[in-house]
Structure 1
Amino acid sequence: MGTDGAPFRRARRPEHKQQRYEAILAAARSQAERKGVSNVSLADIAAEVGVHKSALLRYFETREEIYLHLTAEGWQDWVDGMRDELARLPVGSVTGVAEVVARTLAARPLLCDLMTHTSLTLERNVSLEAVRNFKLAALAALADAEVLIRRVLPDLTDDDVRDLVGAVSAVAAGLWQATHPPATLVALYAEDPRLEHTRLEFTPSLQHLIEVVLTGLLHPRDGGGAPRPD
């Protein structure tokens, strides 16, 4: 029986299996957007699809694999979202790159939330093959990002862009949580104005970080530091 009381029908034809696969991903995305990734269980996803959770395990090993798949999709969607905007920037525009990267990531709140959980949980309760598929998809998205960003900032190396994206994803994960506090903190800020200045805004904070990182990568000798090896 389905969760709505209707008889459960197993998807048998390839097109029906693909529909079920996509329905699972859509339900997981919807649940996470409403409640946050950490608050969604496999049973929640199954309930939204309208099947028993054992049916989900015919398509995905675990809840974590479902969200790892959505993370890979999110990375490519983010890079695709930067494509046209970066193409319009003049060569050498550090501020332009920082603004586009920060703003397009902020426009993808689910990806920001998923970044928080990727290394903490999503990569841990899955098989080697599932992690391999995720890493390869992430590398493909990163390769696209390297081309797009280096067109605007040609003095960056591929390693520089990897360092930049790594820094952005690491900081964005923590910054997203800090700038979207739980209800208790929101109430505290409202009650005590002295604490209001401790609140951060996601997009401007991230953009500032990106500009700082890019400046350091483009001018490694500035400030008396040791020159970067060729």
Structure 2
Amino acid sequence: MSAGFQRARRPEQIEARRTAILAAARELLAERPVADISLRELACRVGLAKSNVLRYFDSREAVFLEVLDAEWSAWLDALALGEPGPAEPGFAREERVAGKIAATLAERRSLCELISAMAPVLERNISPEFARSFKGRAAASTERLGELVRKRVPELSADGARQFALGVVIIVSGAWPYANPTDAVAAAAAELGGMPTFAEALAEGLTNLLAGLVARRR
């Protein structure tokens, strides 16, 4: 830990510290699941004491929720679902939209890992103030995803698009750990014929959800 880094007090220096902490969190997340990353390890990676990390973030969990927020926004920025199109036989349009969402999420392992850890792990140790801020941003991102899908599938109502976007989060939360089991579970599953990949399971679940909402005119 450098003395200059410790003495930093100006807003741009404070922001530099936060950026360094978030960068260290991303590096660690690329190496192992978020549940296996301690505050001590995060502090060591960025070159700070644990107490100094907590000057800039509520907790270890708050750090990773900030990473989640940024990763989710980056995914939405890059998500291209195409122009509005008419309904097609067999819900082929819905299958393509759901497949695109599933494929692009599957390419972002850190994002899927954080989504799956959000409710059971990361939201369990944050302050009320941070919870309000994070959930507000999460709601805005969910709304944004729903609007992107609704532009491609105009039969969806605003409420239906919102339900679909929330369903993306819920299905990822369940499909990611299921598709990334321990070695023992993976070996047992292989003996029984294996299991679908994360992308396959996610695409199937999202297709069924989107087709169902369109069929119900939700």
Number of the residue aligned with 1:215: 211
Matches within 5 A, 1:2-151: 2=1, 7=3, 9-10=5-6, 11-82=8-79, 85-88=80-83, 90-92=85-87, 93-151=93-151
TM-score for the superposition, normalised by structure 1 = 0.84
Contact 2:83 2:151 in 1 (8 A): no
Count of matched residue pairs:
212
Q: Percent identity?
A: 33
Contact 2:35 2:121 in 1 (8 A): no
Contact 1:178 1:200 in 2 (8 A): no
Contact 1:87 1:148 in 2 (8 A): no
**C-alpha separation in 1, matches of 2:176 and 2:14:** 35
**C-alpha separation in 2, matches of 1:48 and 1:13:** 23
TM-score for the superposition, normalised by structure 2 = 0.89
Matches within 5 A, 1:161-180: 161-180=161-180
Contact 1:29 1:70 in 2 (8 A): yes
Unaligned runs of 5+ in 2: 88-92
Number of the residue aligned with 1:183: 183
Structure 1 position 37, deviation (Å): 0.4
Number of the residue aligned with 1:225: none
Give the alignment's Cα RMSD to 1 decimal. Answer: 2.0
For the pair shown, which has the larger CA radius of gyration, 1 or 2?
1
Where 2:41 maps in the other structure, the secondary structure is: helix
Q: Which has the higher contact order (CA 8 A, sep 6+)?
A: 2
Q: Go from structure 1 to structure 2 and tell me whether the alpha carbon gap of 1:158 and 1:194 turns closer, same or farther (over 3 Å shift).
A: same
**C-alpha separation in 2, matches of 1:91 and 1:107:** 28
Contact 1:31 1:45 in 2 (8 A): yes
Letter in 1 for 2:157: T
CA displacement, residues 184-216 of structure 1 (integer Å, 9 cap, x when unaligned): 334x25xx8532x24221112111111111111
